[in-house]
Amino acid sequence: MTVIQDINLLNNFTALQLLSGADYLKVFEPDQLHALVLLFLNAHEFGAYVWEAFFGLLCIVLGYLLFKSGYFPRLLWVLMVFASLGYLTDSFGNIIFPNYKEIFVWVVAVTAVIGELPFLFWLLLRGVNIQEWNNRAAASTAKMKVVMEEGIEAVSVTVDGGKDTKAN
């Protein structure tokens, strides 16, 4: 997503370059330059819609991870998916129905505030469920010890059993 935003900034820089008044731009009439500037500014706008589609997909993945982690209340993942639907609606809606831009701006603003701010405040004020975090960390550590012990036993049986491939 960052790459999309970075490349999209080139459209703004190109528009600024066209307005710089450099000598090589004197071959263009002022109306032509203004049309080119508007073209690059519009291209920047559509690049933002492409970024927004990927951000909507990211919010869906984040919502899924919130759901699967168990460290956060279930309502947070529902709200995050709700926010993603707003981003996707704004992105594809503006591309397909550009005349309804004002409506889509409100859709994304409302869904982003409702969907993302509770997650932000939850992280700032409550954080993750520490007890659940510690329980999972202890279970993971115990599981790793068992796996390591089984691996060491398997290696020692292979070497002691005369099946060491280095000697052959």
* Per-position pLDDT tens, the chain of length 168: 789 899 999 999 999 999 998 999 999 999 999 999 999 999 999 999 999 999 999 999 999 999 998 888 999 999 999 999 999 999 999 999 999 999 999 999 999 999 999 999 999 998 877 888 888 888 888 888 877 777 666 555 555 555 555 544
pLDDT given for residue 79 in this prediction: 96
Distance (Å, whole) CA 20 – CA 14: 10
Same domain for 152 and 102, yes or no, is no
pLDDT given for residue 168 in this prediction: 46
Task: Give the structural domain span for 148.
Answer: 130-162
> What is the count of structural domains for the chain?
2
Same domain for 68 and 12, yes or no, is yes
Q: Which residues, 6 or more positions from 112, have their beta carbon under 8 angstroms from its beta carbon?
A: 83, 86, 87
* DSSP per-residue letters across 50-70: HHHHHHHHHHHHHHHHHHHH-
pLDDT given for residue 137 in this prediction: 84
Residue 167, domain member (yes or no)? no
Residue 168, domain member (yes or no)? no
Same domain for 67 and 15, yes or no, is yes
pLDDT given for residue 153 in this prediction: 64
Same domain for 19 and 77, yes or no, is yes
Same domain for 147 and 67, yes or no, is no
Nearest alpha-carbon partner for 4 in 52, 40, 38, 39: 52
First to last CA, the chain: 54
Q: Which residues, 6 or more positions from 27, have their beta carbon under 8 angstroms from its beta carbon?
A: none
Distance (Å, whole) CA 116 – CA 119: 5
Query: ∠52-7-41 over CA atoms, to 5°?
Result: 75
pLDDT given for residue 141 in this prediction: 86
pLDDT given for residue 142 in this prediction: 81
Same domain for 36 and 113, yes or no, is yes
Same domain for 43 and 120, yes or no, is yes
